[in-house]
């Protein structure tokens, strides 16, 4: 068994170097595919970071009337916090809201003068609500609208719910993320099909080039595995070389892009992610390359190598 494996390995390497120029075509296309797959992984990380950051900034604000009873406000707060879709509900009392208002407009003399002339605090309490998922904001808003509608017209509690103002931003963010994910999937699929087709033709050409040797091996009683093994190994080698080359190309790109992503994506450094998760990225890249190379070789062997 060990001798057979050595012979198959040797024959595979010989075939790989014998058809070096043809092999380069398969390696190049596989490298492009793996490069795009890695790009998709990195973009996904950036989108996840962006989504987390934007989710922390996009919220629903519920403003209560100044006359609202604090117990009623706290009751609504408790019911909101109990919703399974709510990640965080931040309560701001009337007093804190007034302090924030004074701090924000402290340099605006007209606003501050008008505020000082009022005998009572004109601001009501408010709740800032963050959902676990962007798609859950609408259901939270409907729950709050039901609460608003159930209150007595003579004693209203909720003054406004600003979901409609944020809905457009939320919908755009969700749409962009879905579009990027679909586009990445389509491009990756097209490139995978192209890689399989080119590697398939490369192995077919290798089989055609070695047709006389294959005939001799058949005559001397070589096993099917010994005949097919070198071609399978060539496909696997294409995937390994392509994966390593794609990683080598990405490394300097990551060094250059890393600091820039840290500036624009809330401290997320893509190069740090590349280094920290290198073993996972390497396994995905090289593993995918080996899989594509093996599948392409197997298809070509099944189609053109009848032994």
Domain map (residue ranges) of the chain: 2-54+172-304, 59-163
pLDDT band at 253 (very low <50, low <70, confident <90, very high): very high
Average pLDDT of the chain is 79
What is the tens place of the pLDDT at every residue in 144-157?
888 888 877 777 88
Taking the CA atoms of 37, 39, 45 and 46 in sequence, report the sign of the dihedral they define.
Answer: negative
User: Residue 249 pLDDT more than 90?
Assistant: yes
Average pLDDT of 239-265? 88
Digit-coded pLDDT (tens) for 134-143 = 778 888 888 8
Tell me how crowded residue 143 is: count the other CB atoms within 10 A of its CB.
17
pLDDT score of 248 more than 90: yes
CA dist 250 and 37 (Å) reads 12
- CA 156 to each of CA 10, 67, 138, 164: distance values in angstroms, whole numbers, following the listed order: 84, 9, 22, 20
Domain 59-163, what fold? Alpha-Beta Plaits (3.30.70)
pLDDT at position 52 is 67
CB atoms within 10 A of CB 13: 14
Residue 147: count other Cβ atoms within 10 Å of its Cβ.
Answer: 18
- Close Cβ partners of 45 (under 8 Å, ≥ 6 residues apart): 268, 270, 273
**270 has a pLDDT exceeding 70:** yes
Contacts of 115 (CB under 8 A, 6+ apart): 101, 102, 105, 122
Q: For the whole model, what pTM was predicted?
A: 0.62
């Amino acid at each position: 068994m060990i001798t057979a494996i050595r012979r198959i390995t040797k024959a595979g390497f010989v075939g790989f170097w014998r058809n070096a120029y043809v092999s380069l075509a398969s390696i190049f296309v596989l490298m492009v595919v793996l490069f795009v797959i890695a790009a998709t992984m990195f973009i996904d990380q950036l989108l996840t970071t962006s989504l987390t950051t934007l989710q922390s900034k996009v919220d629903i604000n519920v403003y209560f009337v100044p006359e609202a009873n604090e117990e009623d406000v706290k009751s609504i707060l408790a019911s909101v916090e109990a919703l399974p879709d709510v990640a965080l509900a931040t309560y701001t009392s009337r007093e804190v809201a007034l302090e924030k208002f004074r701090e924000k407009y402290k340099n605006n003399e007209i606003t501050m003068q008008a505020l000082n002339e009022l005998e009572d605090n004109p601001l009501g309490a408010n709740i800032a609500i963050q959902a676990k998922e962007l798609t859950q904001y609408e259901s939270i808003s409907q729950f709050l609208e039901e609460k608003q509608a159930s209150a007595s017209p003579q004693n209203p509690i909720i003054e406004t719910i600003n979901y409609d103002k944020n809905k457009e931003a939320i919908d755009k963010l969700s749409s962009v993320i879905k579009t990027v994910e679909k586009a990445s999937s389509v491009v990756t699929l097209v490139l995978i099909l192209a890689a399989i087709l080119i590697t398939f033709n490369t192995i077919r050409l290798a089989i055609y080039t070695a047709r006389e040797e294959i005939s001799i091996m058949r005559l001397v009683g070589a096993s099917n595995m010994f005949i097919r093994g070198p071609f399978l190994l060539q496909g696997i080698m294409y995937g390994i070389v392509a994966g390593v080359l794609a990683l080598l190309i990405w490394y300097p790109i990551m060094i250059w892009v890393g600091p820039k992503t840290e500036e624009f994506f809330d401290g997320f450094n893509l190069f740090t992610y590349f280094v920290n998760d290198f073993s996972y990225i390497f396994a995905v890249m090289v593993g995918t390359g080996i899989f594509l190379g093996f599948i392409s070789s197997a298809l070509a062997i099944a189609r053109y190598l009848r032994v």
